[in-house]
Amino acid sequence: MSDDKKASVTGSPHAVPGSNGVTRRDFLNEITMGALGIAGLGSVAVTYQYFSPNVLFEPSTTFRAGNSDLYPVHSVTFLQDQQVYIVRMPEGFYAVSAVCTHLGCITQWKPDADVIACPCHGSKFRPSGVKIAGPAPRPLPHFAISLTADGELLVDKLQIIKPSEVLKV
């Protein structure tokens, strides 16, 4: 190609990549460096993930359920975020799991019928957790419940206790 022809191509307003002072080699070098940069970042991310501890963070099994005065006597209160019923009867407090012992559905408190009912297959329980109907094989378990120094109820969902163990306040 002659110098005249080169000059006319280089000065064209519709120049293609490589004709505007950027050679094909420069262009390919930039593409290659970009690809290597992306691959390098990917490698760093994978390496970081490989070396970071493989730990599953789960919510705490112990929670505060507020002041005992919040719960009137003869009340069943469903704590949706914990899936626990706080039951207060004249004999004291107990914390009952809201998870059905049949296949794990979340039960619902039906105050009109005075039962905890499972919407999935019809199991029914007394507020104390005792099963009265349906396919559930066991009563609803009771969780350990205690009182903190500042007067709040503290429930530990990791500790299953006997239904006879109530918290007297």
Residues that bind ligand FES (CB under 6 A): 100, 102-103, 105, 118, 120-123, 134-136
Return the number of the residue (134 or 163) whose C-beta is nearest ligand FES: 134
d(CA 103, CA 59): 22
Return the number of the residue (124 or 163) whose C-beta is nearest ligand FES: 124
CB of 115 to ligand FES, least distance (A): 13
**How do 92-97 and 62-67 pair as beta strands?**
unpaired
Return the number of the residue (95 or 100) whose C-beta is nearest ligand FES: 100
CB of 130 to ligand FES, least distance (A): 15
CB of 119 to ligand FES, least distance (A): 8
- Residues 35/28, Cβ–Cβ less than 8 Å: no
CA distances from residue 28 to 39, 42, 162 in whole angstroms, order as listed:
16, 21, 74
d(CA 12, CA 123): 82
CB of 123 to ligand FES, least distance (A): 4
